[in-house]
């Protein structure tokens, strides 16, 4: 209950000042560009395949248009997540407003969960803006709504993971730039690692990375292990953040 | 209402607070005095649950601060040294947020009430970041008051305010203590302690060096200059209730040592001898300096 109060304030704070709006505009713009790319590529492919009905049958809106679109958006999520998360705690330490949360009758869990949900709420809005292109497909085609749903589930989970990690970094320092660089490096590493080990999908490094866990979600396969991976990832960083906040009282 | 026993807080090798013992009764207004770095803020932060004590315990209304922080925080309103404000929020929204955090049942009326009490109604719709320091301090106080706490802990509530604002805050605190609120406040302004506190605790280097503020308040020295000094005048002064010593400084100048404010009766007694000047000399300030120098 108190967590929602905190989440609401976070969400509200994201929209005072230009940053929140800029991020939304940025998401909308980039999503538009990406959609244009994948759409053009898809259109070209289908024109080329006019005389090859067998191959044309293999062409699928989900696999060949939405999946690459989601893949492009994932990069933006990894880039934007740390920037959205960096101020969550650092800013409050710097302005000393954190004292209000520390001395109000709220638990550390409420604080951490509230901040996370607030940031995730904003992330959801940013993702909603990107859905304009994919939704327009319904107008002149019949994309699989399941693929759309599972793709956005994947992006939301990825956003949550990056935000949780960024929030944890933010809880450690009152310097937002330090929080940004730390969580951004880690997020990028986790994103790229998976690309190196493509030939051996069972390597633990690949298992640890985001990338491999997104592929299935982006083509409409919701696997328990992938969802569990993200939920556990988020849970771990929420826990680590709570531990850090708790330790502040015992310095 | 508040009971502190053997409270100690160390930061690595530094002892911020060492073996603090004191208690505060319901409705008392207690001033924390001490030089910077004496441990006032640390003590207050421990009471409010922002910081854990290294050893010792503190209870508020019978609830242990460390064991039942939720209960204690509901009872306390706390204004830290730097008011905890979100500059991008509008005053009214911020106070609503604070009220919800503190579990106030009827948020709207509580916020309007506290806005009026602290004198913020005129700026309720403005961004906190655009307010003057005095108003920001008031928003900080409003935040501490919004849930009508039984205990108010204020860390330098009047720092950075102009004299008129100080008086307003002082009046507000006086009203609150009349309404049975227990108040602990820290300050550098000794006149403030004399004006509003029923008791002062002097902390120096993490220890309490004095906790009988009544004596501190009552140790008055009055300096008088009269035109025609004589022995009868000294005798008249010494016969006054509360006066326990008169020093003849020569040239018609005297120092009268007394308990409490005796200026009026001293002046009356001196009138036949041609009183030229009467002023208060020394006060809590001297006591404070003496105490903190002694312990240094």
β strands within chain A, DSSP E = none
Domains B2-211 and B217-295 alike in fold: no
Residue B12 in this model has a pLDDT that exceeds 90: no
Identify residues of A whose CB sits under 8 angstroms from chain B CBs. 2, 5-6, 9, 12-13, 16-17, 95-107, 249-251
CA–CA gap between residue B266 and residue B114 (Å, rounded): 44
pLDDT at B218 over 70: no
Q: Is the pLDDT confidence value at A164 over 60?
A: yes
Mean pLDDT of all residues in A8-29: 88
Other CB atoms within 10 A of residue A99 CB? 22
Both tokens of A211, joined, read 């990338």
pLDDT band for position A184 (cuts 50, 70, 90): very high
Question: What's CA B233's distance to the chain center, in Å?
Answer: 38
Residue-wise pLDDT for B21-70, tens only, equals 998 988 888 988 887 888 899 999 999 988 888 899 999 999 999 888 88
Q: Domain-by-domain residue ranges, chain B?
A: 2-211, 217-295
Architecture of domain B217-295: 2-Layer Sandwich (3.30)
Range of the domain at A173: 2-248
Count of all residues that appear for chain A in the document: 251
Closest CA to B193 of B283, B281, B79: B283
* ipTM of the complex model: 0.88
Report how many domains make up chain A: 1
Taking an 8 Å cut-off on Cβ atoms, the answer to whether B103 and A12 are in contact is no
CA distances A194 to A32, A187, B11, B96, Å, are 26, 12, 44, 46
- Using DSSP's 3-state secondary structure scheme, residue A149 falls into helix
Nearest 5°: the CA angle B216, B263, B183 is 35
Contact B193, B166 (CB under 8 A): no
Contact A5 B100 (CB under 8 A): yes
Going by pLDDT thresholds of 50, 70 and 90, the confidence category of residue B296 is: very low
| Locus of tokens 């120096």 | B204
| Yes or no: domain B2-211 corresponds to CATH 1.10.3430.10 | no
Q: Any bridge partners for residue B153, and if so which?
A: B78, B184
Instruction: List, for residues B238-284, the tens digit of each pLDDT value.
Output: 888 878 778 888 888 888 877 777 888 888 888 888 888 888 776 56
Measured at the CA of B184, the angle between CA B179 and CA B187, to 5 degrees, comes to: 125
Partners of B48 on chain A (C-beta within 8 Å) are 103
Q: Count of CB atoms within 10 A of residue A177's CB?
A: 10
User: B161 with B169: CB under 8 angstroms?
Assistant: yes
CB pairs under 8 A between A and B: 69
CB contact (8 A) between residue B50 and residue A99? yes
Range with lowest mean pLDDT among A91-95, B141-145, B289-293: B289-293
> pLDDT digits over A190-216, tens only?
888 777 666 666 667 777 788 888 888
Contacts of residue A101 in chain B, CB cutoff 8 Å?
Answer: 101
Q: What is the pLDDT of residue B284?
A: 63
Taking the C-alpha atoms of residue A55 and residue A52, their distance in angstroms, rounded to an integer, is 6
Question: pTM of this prediction?
Answer: 0.84
CA-based torsion, A176, A178, A180, A182: positive or negative: negative
Cα distance between the two ends of chain A = 28
Tokens of B57: 């315990």
Lowest mean pLDDT among A236-250, B63-77, B168-182: B168-182
């Amino acid at each position: 209950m108190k967590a929602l109060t905190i989440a609401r304030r976070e969400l509200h704070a994201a929209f005072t000042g230009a940053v929140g709006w800029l991020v939304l505009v940025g998401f909308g713009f980039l999503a538009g560009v990406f959609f244009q790319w994948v759409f053009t590529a898809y259109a070209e492919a289908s024109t080329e395949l006019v005389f090859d009905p067998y191959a044309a049958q293999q062409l699928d809106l989900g696999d060949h248009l939405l999946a690459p679109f989601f893949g492009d958006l994932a990069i933006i999520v990894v880039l934007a997540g740390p920037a959205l998360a960096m101020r969550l705690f650092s800013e409050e330490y710097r302005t000393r407003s954190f004292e209000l949360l520390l001395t109000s009758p709220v638990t550390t869990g409420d604080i951490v969960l509230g901040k996370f949900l607030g940031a995730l709420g904003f992330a959801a809005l940013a993702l909603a803006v990107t859905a304009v292109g994919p939704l327009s497909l319904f107008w002149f085609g019949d994309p699989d709504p399941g693929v759309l749903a599972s793709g956005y589930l994947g992006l939301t989970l990825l956003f949550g993971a990056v935000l949780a990690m960024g929030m944890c970094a933010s809880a450690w320092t009152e310097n937002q730039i330090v929080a940004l660089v730390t969580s951004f490096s880690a997020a990028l590493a986790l994103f790229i690692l998976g690309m190196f080990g493509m030939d051996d999908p069972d390597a633990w490094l690949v298992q640890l990375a985001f990338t491999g866990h997104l592929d299935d979600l982006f083509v409409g396969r919701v696997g328990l292990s992938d969802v569990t991976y993200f939920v556990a990832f988020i849970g771990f960083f929420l826990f680590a953040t709570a531990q850090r906040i708790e330790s502040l009282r015992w310095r | 209402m508040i009971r502190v026993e053997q409270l100690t807080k160390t930061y690595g090798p530094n002892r911020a607070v060492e073996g603090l013992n004191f208690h505060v009764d319901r409705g008392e207004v207690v001033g924390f005095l001490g030089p910077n770095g004496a441990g006032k803020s640390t003590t207050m932060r421990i009471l409010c649950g922002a910081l854990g004590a290294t050893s010792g315990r503190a209870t508020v209304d019978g609830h242990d601060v460390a064991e039942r922080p939720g209960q204690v925080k509901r009872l306390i309103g706390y204004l830290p040294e730097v008011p905890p404000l979100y500059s991008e929020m509008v005053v009214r929204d911020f106070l609503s947020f604070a009220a919800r955090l503190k579990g106030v049942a009827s948020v709207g009326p509580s916020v309007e009430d506290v806005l009026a009490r602290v004198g913020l109604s005129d700026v309720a719709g403005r961004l906190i970041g655009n307010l003057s320091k005095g108003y920001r301090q008031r928003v900080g106080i409003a935040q501490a008051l919004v849930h009508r706490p039984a205990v108010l802990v204020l860390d330098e509530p009047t720092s950075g305010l102009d004299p008129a604002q100080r008086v307003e805050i002082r009046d507000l605190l006086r009203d609150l203590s009349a309404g049975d609120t227990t108040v602990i406040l820290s300050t550098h302004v000794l006149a403030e302690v004399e004006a509003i506190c029923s008791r002062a605790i002097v902390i120096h280097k993490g220890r309490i060096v004095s906790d009988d503020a009544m004596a501190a308040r009552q140790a008055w020295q009055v300096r008088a200059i009269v035109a025609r000094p004589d022995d009868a005048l000294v005798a008249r002064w010494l016969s006054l209730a509360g006066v326990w010593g008169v020093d003849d400084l020569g040239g018609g100048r005297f120092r009268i040592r007394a308990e409490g404010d005796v200026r009026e009766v001293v002046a009356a007694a001196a009138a036949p001898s041609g009183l030229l000047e009467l002023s208060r000399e020394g006060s809590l300030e001297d006591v404070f300096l003496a105490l903190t120098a002694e312990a240094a």
